[in-house]
Each structure stands twice: as structure tokens, then as C-alpha cells.
Amino acid sequence: MTSYKDLGLVNSREMFAKAMKGGYAVPAYNFNNMEQLQAIIQACVATKSPVILQVSKGARDYANINLLRNMAKGASEYAKELGCEIPIVLHLDHGDSFETCKECIDNGFSSVMIDGSHFSYEENIALTKKVVEYAHKFDVTVEGELGVLAGIEDEVSAKHSTYTEPDEVIDFVKRTGVDSLAISIGTSHGANKFKPEQCQRNEEGILIPPPLRFDILEEIEKRLPNFPIVLHGSSSVPQEYVKTINEFGGKLVDSIGIPEEQLRRAAKSAVCKINIDSDGRLAMTAAIRKTMAEKPGEFDPRKYLGPAREALKKMYIHKNENVLGSANQA
Ligand code: G3H
Ligand code: 13P
Ligand code: ZN
């Protein structure tokens, strides 16, 4: 058994309480490798932002849980070395069973998500409650989910979305004891969040997707005052990355994300955690494709992963400062 407290990590309780009061959201960035982690830490130290390091099932399969846990420990030491002791959470993203959550808690994670949103309401409650009971013994915080997000990711998929039902949230939170709740109000996973035909074009010809359901969010806030809400599927899919990827041999079609203004508005509400993974993938891929195309003789991975890390860092700084509002809140 490894406690996150020995790894220099914190759980999300105080982080969310501060975010709620301060009207900002804590960034939850996924990582699978060293360059992504370095970029996240460098950006969050540079902007003095708290951060949630997210590990998905796909990340665990790819990188190994022992290695990831020790990378998080290293990240906390690295942040101090860079001169700023920012609060860092190590979070299991989309935990799919009690066993997975337990394994992560026993391996130094300070926060877990149990995603029971694909089960029936009562099954979701029973599973979430079981995880909460175990997690709270070790002061690990738990995120539950109500409502289903549409979209496709490697390990997370749903064909259709079901918005969160505001009438269910009080009962769910009370009966499970969760510390935060992921809701479905129109975001979705991946880089193809909307079909072009669902969008409208503005004067510059840019596709504007349908707005998030802020009415549902407000209803939830009314029923659960000051309770931390989480938004998954919150990549903006910046078109500059899509353009670069396609310019240098990629083939991304209909890549549309959540406009930044919508996320900025959400961050000012009870939304205390905003999940971003796909934008990191896009920034990295764009930089790697560009370097590979422009320097075909290069075969040292540091020569293309280095610029990718820089591109990622720049993007995370922008998000912390201009979208989530988490800069200077560490
Ligand atoms: O929400 C899902 C995350 O983007 C993780 O994706 O399972 O491909 O690592 P992954
Ligand atoms: P994106 O695919 O929009 O980056 O969402 C990531 C996410 O929700 C991770 O849980
Ligand atoms: Zn997610």
C-alpha cells in the first residue's frame, strides 16, 4: 500500500473548495508519457496553477501503473525544483470497476473517478457508494458521473448522449457520498464533438457548435449549492493544430470542439474541474508532424518530442490563464 501523502500529492477536496470560492476551474490534464508530464508541470508552475494529473485505463495499459505513480512523485519534486510548490492530484480517469479504483488507491492515487454512468441509476449508486466507502478510509476523493457523454475515445465510448437529469443529483450525491460529480451538458470526448450540420457558420466562415446546456448546469447548481461539478470532454480542438496536422500529411476530418468562451463561462460556475486530453494530443501531433516534414533527416526523438513538449506547454499556459482561470491560484 502506497499513500499519496508520501508521494507529495494532495486530494481534490481543498482544491475544489478554493476553486468554487474563486470562480475558476482546476485543469485536469491527461498524461501518458514523460514529455506530456513535463509540459503540464512546467506550464502549471509558470502560471502558479493547481493541477490534476489524469491517468486513464489506456494510460495504465500503455505506461504501467507503478511507473506512472512514480512519475507523479517525480512531478511533485520537479515542481519544487522549478521553484513553486503547486498542489498536485493524481487522479484515475474513468475508473470502470471497484477493483480498478482500489488498485489505484492502493498505488498512491489521491483521487479516483468511478464512471458508472453506463449502468442503471441504482447500479451506478451501488458501485459508486462502494468505491467511496473504500476511498474515504484513505482520505482519497471520489468523482462520480450522472448522464452519458457522446463521443469516442480509445477506451471511452458512447454513441449518444443523455443529459444529466437535475432531479437525480441530490439523491445520487447523498446516497453515494461522492466528493464531486461529472455531468453531461453537451460536451463529448475526442476531436469530433459535433457534426458540421449541427453547427452554424459565423461571418468568417468558422463553424460555431450548439451551446452547452447552461440551463441544466444552473438547475444542478440550484439543487446542489457549492458542490464541485466536473466537465469531461472539454477540449476546444484548436483549428490551428488541425490545420498543421493536415498540412503535414494528416487526415483529420470534421474536427470540432467546445468554444473557449463556453468553457470560460463554465469555469466561473460550480464547475471546479475541466478535463482536457484531446487538445494535448492535437498540439503534440501537429508539432511532431511539422518537425518530421521539415527535417526529414532527423532521427533523434528528442528533436521532435522537444518541440512537441514546447507546443504543449504553450497550450497549457494559455488554458490556465485565459480559459480556466486557474493561474495564480496555487
Ligand atoms: O476521457 C478519456 C480520455 O481522453 C482518455 O483517453 O482512454 O484513450 O487514454 P484514453
Ligand atoms: P477531451 O477528449 O475533450 O479532451 O476530454 C477528455 C476527458 O474528458 C478525459 O476524461
Ligand atoms: Zn472523460
pLDDT digits (tens, 9 = 90+) for 36-83: 999 999 999 999 999 999 999 999 999 999 999 999 999 999 999 999
Which alpha helices (H) appear in the chain, and where do they start and end? 13-22, 34-46, 57-63, 65-81, 98-106, 121-137, 166-176, 214-223, 239-247, 260-267, 278-294, 301-318
What's the gap in Å between 208 CA and the centre of ligand 3?
22
pLDDT digits (tens, 9 = 90+) for 121-136: 999 999 999 999 999 9
Residue 6 has pLDDT above 70, yes or no: yes
Ligand 2 atom 1 nearest Cα:
233
Nearest ligand 1 atom, CA 155: 7
Domain ranges of the chain: 4-324
d(CA 85, CA 76): 8
Q: Which ligand is nearest to the CA of 32?
A: 1
Among residues 93, 115, 179, 277, the one annotated as catalytic is: 93
Q: Is the CB of 93 under 6 A from ligand 2?
A: yes
Q: If DSSP codes are grouped into helix, strand and coil, which group holds residue 154?
A: coil
Q: Which ligand is nearest to the CA of 59?
A: 1
> Please, which residues have CB within 8 angstroms of residue 257's CB and are 6 or more apart in sequence?
191, 193, 209, 235, 236, 237, 238, 278, 279
Nearest ligand 1 atom, CA 278: 4
Q: Which fold has domain 4-324?
A: TIM Barrel (3.20.20)
Q: Is the CB of 188 under 6 A from ligand 2?
A: no
Q: Which residue has the cell 498536485?
A: 88
Ligand 1 atom 4 nearest Cα:
277
Ligand 2 atom 5 nearest Cα:
233
pLDDT of residue 80: 97
What's the gap in Å between 230 CA and the centre of ligand 3?
10
Among residues 237, 320, 319, which one has the least CA distance to residue 286?
237
> Please, which residues have CB within 8 angstroms of residue 301's CB and are 6 or more apart in sequence?
none
Residues in the chain: 330
pTM: 0.97
Mutation choice for ligand 1 from 94, 148, 285, CB with most ligand atoms inside 8 A: 94
pLDDT of residue 200: 92
Residue 240 has pLDDT above 80, yes or no: yes
pLDDT of residue 122: 98
Across the chain, mean pLDDT equals 96
pLDDT digits (tens, 9 = 90+) for 259-276: 999 999 999 999 999 999
**Angstrom distances, CA of residue 184 to CA of 232, 264, 269:** 8, 17, 15
What's the gap in Å between 278 CA and the centre of ligand 2?
6
Q: Is the CB of 228 under 6 A from ligand 2?
A: no
What's the gap in Å between 155 CA and the centre of ligand 3?
10
Nearest ligand 2 atom, CA 113: 10
pLDDT digits (tens, 9 = 90+) for 139-167: 999 999 999 887 765 566 666 779 999 99
Residue 113 grid coordinates? 473517478
pLDDT digits (tens, 9 = 90+) for 71-101: 999 999 999 999 999 999 999 999 999 999 9
Is 93 annotated as catalytic? yes
In 3-state terms the chain splits into helix, strand, coil percentages (rounded to 5) of 50, 20, 35
- The percent of residues in the chain predicted with pLDDT above 90, rounded, is 92
Q: Which residue has the cell 503535414?
A: 248
Q: Which ligand is nearest to the CA of 29?
A: 2
What's the gap in Å between 39 CA and the centre of ligand 1?
18
